Amino acid sequence: MTTYLLAGGGTAGHVNPLLAVADALTEREPDAEVYVLGTKEGLEARLVPERGYELLTIAKLPFPRRITRQAVGFGPRFAAAVRSIQSMIAEHGIDVVVGFGGYAAAPAYLAARRAGIPIVVHEANAKPGLANRLGARLTPFVGVAFHGTRLRNSRFVGMPLRREIERLDRDAARKAGRELFGLADDRPTLLVTGGSLGARRVNETIFAARQTLVDAGYQVLHIAGDKSELSDPGTEHYHLQSYCDQMDLALAVADFAVSRAGAATVSELSALGIPAAYIPYPVGNGEQRYNAADAVNAGGAVIVLDARFTPEWIEKSLVPLLIDRMRVQDMAVQSRLMGTLEGSSRMIDLISEALVRR
C-alpha cells in the first residue's frame, strides 16, 4: 500500500487538478492512503473533506513580494511549516509528495527533500508559479498542462480533469444537452462562459451582440455567472443561464466557445476539440494569455484582448469566422491535438515512475 501526500490549494486552479489526481489514484489503487495538505483558508478546506479525503493544514504563507515587517518574519514561519510537514510525513508514513502549487506546495517540497522521499510536481498554468518553480529544481518528475510551459525538467502530461469531462461522450450527450437547455437541433451552438469573476466585459458584449450572432445562424448558450445582473430578454435562440451545474452537457452541445482563458477552461475545451475565442482576464500576471497560446498557435483558437472584445469585434471578426464552417471544423481538429483527456492517468504514471526510481 502506498501513502500519498498531495499538496496545494488556495484556488480552484490548484484544488481541482489535485482532486482529479486523488480520485484517479484511489480508483487505480483502492487500498491507497491519500492525504491532502492545504490551508484552512483556501478552497481546499471545503472541497477536500467533501470529496472524502483527510485534509492536513499549515498556516497560510504568501511569498513576500517586497521588504515589509511581515516579510522579515517569513523565513522563521516558513521553516516552521517545513518542520511541521516533516512531522506529518513521518507520522503518516508518506511515500511520495505530489505538489500542485499554492501556499502549501513550497514547504511540502522542502520537507519531502529533507525526508528523502520522492517529489512530483504538476503545473496547471502555462506561466509557472513560484512554488512550482522551486519544486522543479528538486525533482526530475515535473508534469505540465501546456506544451509551451517553461519549467525545469518538465514534460507534457496535460491537465487532470474532472471525471465527467474525461469520460464525456459528446455525441451521446449532445441530445440530452440540447433538451436540458432548450436548444434547437438544426443550429450550431455558441457556448459563452466567463464565470462570475471578471466576466462583465464578456457578458455585456455577448448580450449586446446576441441578435448579430443569431442572425449568423447560431444559437447562443450564455452562462453568465451567478453574479451577473443580466436578465433574459426573450430573444429567440439566445439562452441565458446564470449558473450551470452540468457543464459536461454544456460542453457536449458546443460547436464553438467564447470564454476567459483560465487553465482548466482552456484544457477542457482543447481536450474535447472545441474551437474557441479566448478573452484573457486583464488582471494579474498575464497567465491567461499564456494559457491560450498553445491552442492559438496551433490554429485551434483565436485570442482577443479584453478591451477589444466589443460588439463591433464580434460583427467584423467573430461572425465571419463562425460562418466559415470548414475553418471551424479545422480549428476543432487543431484544438484537439493540443489537449488530452488523459491528464490524470499520465500524472499517475509520472508518480509511479518517481516511486519506482526512488
Three cell numbers written together for 170: 459528446
Amino acid, single-letter form, for residue 339: G
Helix (H, G, I), strand (E, B) or coil at 341: coil
Helix (H, G, I), strand (E, B) or coil at 70: helix
Three cell numbers written together for 74: 517569513
- In angstroms, the CA 198 to CA 177 distance is 26
pLDDT per residue as tens, the chain (358 positions): 899 999 998 888 889 999 999 999 999 999 999 999 999 988 898 999 999 999 999 988 766 665 556 655 667 788 889 999 999 999 999 999 999 998 899 999 999 999 999 999 999 999 999 999 999 999 999 999 999 999 999 999 999 999 999 999 999 999 999 999 999 999 999 999 976 555 889 999 999 999 999 999 999 999 998 788 888 899 999 999 988 989 999 999 999 999 999 999 999 999 999 999 999 988 766 789 999 999 999 999 999 999 999 999 999 999 999 999 999 999 999 999 999 999 999 999 999 999 998 7
User: Pairing between strand 219-223 and 142-144?
Assistant: unpaired
Is there a contact between 104 and 94 (Cβ–Cβ < 8 Å)? no
Helix (H, G, I), strand (E, B) or coil at 121: strand
Is there a contact between 257 and 274 (Cβ–Cβ < 8 Å)? yes
Q: Which of 177, 236, 181 is nearest to 210 (CA)?
A: 236
Angle at 134 between CA 113 and CA 86, to 5 degrees: 30
User: Pairing between strand 256-259 and 3-7?
Assistant: unpaired
